[in-house]
A and B are shown apart, each in its own frame.
Chain A
């Protein structure tokens, strides 16, 4: 693994189903983030984690949950998907929460029908 990986690449999901998007980084970065990107709105922060064991809410957290059991993994869960959660989801990481740029994963394209 080099950098950040996300899985799946794309997914079509029925409304009401539970879904977990996976994110793994091998750069030993302390901070990790989940964004969604929608046309005309830019990237919006869903949840973040400044270090393993801690998480926080971003701009649009409703309907999403995260966990950070270790440094490398930061999964995003949709407990009961709704069509408005159709989006492209990007995971990102940075060395720490206060310095340096964020590195982005390749994204997951999610469609909720």
Chain B
């Protein structure tokens, strides 16, 4: 089976930066996704990495190192609305997505 690990919870202050790490061991690799999920809602797509390096999209950035089986999602200038669960998902060799259990980020004023 696939193994995707990310921290369960993180807390940060409004305006600060938070980095959510994700490590993975999968059968093949065809890209890594980050999704945001607010409580009681559906996951929504944030970012996609298939090559090593940093992808920046506004206040959110995602980094990938395929040789280390490692990714992180960086959230800058945190806002209260960023309080949510962040899901790391890896597309394996069969092009199926396997998800981590999610990291709940709480932003405090």
A residues in contact (CB < 8 Å) with B: 33, 35, 40-45, 48, 58-59, 90, 97-98, 101-107
What are 19 inter-chain pairs, A to B, with CB distance below 8 A?
A33-B97, A41-B101, A42-B4, A42-B87, A42-B99, A43-B87, A43-B97, A44-B99, A45-B97, A48-B96, A58-B96, A59-B98, A90-B43, A98-B30, A101-B33, A101-B45, A103-B45, A104-B42, A107-B41
CB neighbours of B41 from chain A (8 A): 106-107
CB neighbours of A105 from chain B (8 A): 42
18 other A-B residue contacts (CB within 8 Å) besides A43-B43, A104-B44: A33-B97, A41-B101, A42-B101, A42-B102, A43-B87, A43-B97, A45-B96, A45-B97, A45-B98, A58-B96, A90-B42, A90-B43, A98-B30, A98-B95, A101-B33, A101-B45, A102-B45, A103-B45
- How many A-B contacts are there with CB distance less than 8 Å? 43
Which residue in chain B gives the minimum CB-CB distance to A3?
Answer: B42
